[in-house]
Amino acid sequence: MDFKDKVAIVTGAGQGIGFEICRLLAARGATVLLNDVDTKLAEKAVAQINTQTGGNCTHFAGDASDLAFINKMVDNAVKLYGHLDIVIANAGITLFGDFGTYTPEAFYKVMQVNLGGSFFLAQAASNKMKLQSGGGAILFTSSVVGHQALKSLAAYAMTKAALEMLAKNLVIELSQYKINVNTVAPGATLTERTTEEADYERVWTDITPMGRPASVTDIAETALFLVSDKAKHITGQSLIVDGGWTAVSILPTGIK
C-alpha cells in the first residue's frame, strides 16, 4: 500500500495503536498529522516516527473531543498541505465502572470523547473532502465490545457500537463525494497500557483462538488497508481484528 502524496490526520496517536498507524503511514509515504491530548507525548512520538521512517510526521496536540480544536486541526492540515485524504478517529477513553453506580460525569466524558470527538471530526473532515475530486477515507476505531458484552464497560461499549452505526449512516451522506467510511474493531491488543495490567497477556493468550492477543501492528495494518486506495469500494463496514475471539466469546477471568 502506497500512501505517497496522501495527507492524514490520526487522533489519539501518542502511543499504542494510533502511534503505530502513524508510523506505518509515514513509512509508506504519507504526510501525517499526529494528534494527542498530551503535548510531550505527541512531540516524542513524532520525533521517534521521523527518526525511524525518514517520513513526514508533525504533531498537533490538543483535545480531540473539543469542537473548536477539531475544526482548527482540520483547517490547519488543509492550509499546510493543500488537501486532506485520510482521517482516522482513534482518540478514545475507557472508564470502567459498575452499571449501578456509574456516575453521570464518567458517562458524559466517555460520550464526549468517543462519540462527540469522532462525529465532529468526521463532519469537519468530510466537509473538506467534499471539495476534492478524489474524495477521501474516514476510519473510526471501534472495539470488540461493540459486539460482545463485557462487565463494567456498558458506557464504553455503547460508544463503540454507535460508531459502527455512524459509519453505516455516513454511507448515505458521503458516498456521492467519493468518501468511504469504515470502522476497525480491535480485540485484546498489547499496548503500553494493557501490558501494565497483571496477567493481561496470559489471560488473552489462553482464550484467543489464534493463541495470542493482537499486536498494535496487527490493528494498524488493517487500518491502513481500510483507508488505502485498495479499499475504495468498501464502505459502511466494520472489520474485527481479534484472533477469532468474538467467534467463541470466552469471557476473560483472572485479570487484576
By annotation, the residues acting in catalysis are: 143, 156, 160
Residue 86 cell numbers, joined: 485520510
The answer to whether 159 touches 166, Cβ cutoff 8 Å, is no
Measure the CA–CA gap between 164 and 111, rounded to whole angstroms. 14
The answer to whether 9 touches 74, Cβ cutoff 8 Å, is yes
Measure the CA–CA gap between 218 and 209, rounded to whole angstroms. 15
The answer to whether 239 touches 226, Cβ cutoff 8 Å, is yes
Q: What are phi and psi of 39, to 5 degrees?
A: -60, -45
How many CA atoms does the CB half-sphere of 32 hold within 13 Å?
Answer: 34
DSSP 189: B
